[in-house]
Amino acid sequence: MSGLVTRNRLIGLALAALIVIVDQAVKWYVIKVLSLREVGHVDLLSFFDFTYTENRGISLGLLEATSMESRWLLVAMTAAIAVVVLVWMMREKLLGDIAALALILGGALGNIRDRFEFGYVIDYADFHIGDFRPFLIFNIADAAITIGVVIILARSLLVRDKGATDTGDTPRGETDNA
């Protein structure tokens, strides 16, 4: 089982790295290629556009960094949370739990990089139905964090036996003999 756990953790680290790379690549594309910072808005589909936004706070604009001190405090706070998520991920064994935590870690690292470099997080994804916007403007890192949290919540509510593995192993205390 040790080899499987190590494999699952390596997959988790690779997934987190992939999220950071894709997040930063798309941010680079919308800023440098589409010049979204200058144009502000690009119509794509009837329900999805690119709209440039600088998020100087955390989720829902809370704890907005209005000074250099508050900027670095947010960087430190989110970095501490990322370390906790990394430690949690490295303690997990099941691929489903590790993957969910990897999504959160990768998203957090992508947004931390923005806040470190620019002092704010670049958001651009604008999903809407007419004038109704069910979400704030977001980015791939935000989406990865949200999906990871939803997976963790769903798994904690729906998975009955934490002893079972994602590979179909028999839960602890049970035998394959019927």
Is residue 176 annotated as part of the catalytic site, yes or no? Answer: no
Catalytic residue among 114, 123, 169, 176: 123
- Largest distance between two CA atoms of the chain: 67
The per-residue DSSP string of 30-88 comes to: IIIIS-HHHH-EEE-SSSEEEEEEEE-SSGGG-S---SHHHHHHHHHHHHHHHHHHHHH
Question: What are the tokens at 161?
Answer: 């036996």
SS3 164: coil
State the amino acid at position 15 in one-letter form: L
Residues present in the chain in total: 178
Is residue 126 annotated as part of the catalytic site, yes or no? Answer: no
Catalytic residue among 23, 97, 114, 142: 142
Catalytic machinery residues:
123, 142
